[in-house]
Structure 1
């Protein structure tokens, strides 16, 4: 097999593998930690206190915020996520996208990350339009975090809206992120390399 035939064979295999991956829309990701963020106490049901690492969820392929506080994920754990473009309702999706956009337009400090995370949980737990994180089911027991999250929620319509993707799994915490690796992009990169090798052979 000459180099040209070999390159076309590699490209065909890469494209076949990619099509299967796109159809599944599965994104494997390994959770590495929370940074920037803060360890804070709070409650999601108005009574039971939990200590929560609150902020940017670091995965090996992307950063994210949690949109499912009722489930868990462990450090070093790899989860196969399904990609979704909306979450719950359009109003919820819009609010979350604005909170994420507001965070990335900010200084991205640990306090801003934690406040963004608790504001997202406020939307999910107590509903769109709720702004007080010291009452209701969702409460954070840190006045600085509660006040900043309230500021975000009160001014949510003025926050820039991020282009987000939701990553869901039935057993582990769901996430919202702005960057997800696309298998198709990897395939196009591979095809570009193949094309370069073919042109180099012709030259």
Structure 2
């Protein structure tokens, strides 16, 4: 992340965009939190640096990631899972800062999901060309809680499909500060991210950071 994380930017009134039943795009929602959010993320990454995970099929993910919270999402030759211990440091993942919990809970509430208490925050770093194939978030034990996804940095094309992989996904351009929340009937919809276009963001540099909040257990 660049050194000018504390630079102020103009306030933007958040707007709502319905995506599907149970799914909503909150434009600019995270902008009100960034004075606390960006320094908190920088501290998390110092404790648990980004790494490229290996899928069970042996492929190296193009997206680098880390976690914070009581558990973190990991992948290796044995499969996908949540684990309380960072496999690289053999230490617990960094605690989830209050500002992240508040952001996730407030966004979920605004989307109609009250009482959301995330246990895991997956922090993904995209550089130009990185992408995320269509997939379902289904490693959690309870699908009653929503997924809250925060976009920071370079704009990205978010792909949001349906319950079948073959369902044609809708394309949404996500800008810095946008938050997507999906749950209920759309909780298991396939989704992904198209290859990130090159560019330079004033605060975040040549990258996109995505925060995905989940109740894992």
Common fold: TM-score over 0.5: no
TM-score with structure 1 setting the length: 0.25
TM-score with structure 2 setting the length: 0.24
User: Relative contact order: is structure 1 or structure 2 higher (C-alpha 8 Å, sep ≥ 6)?
Assistant: 1
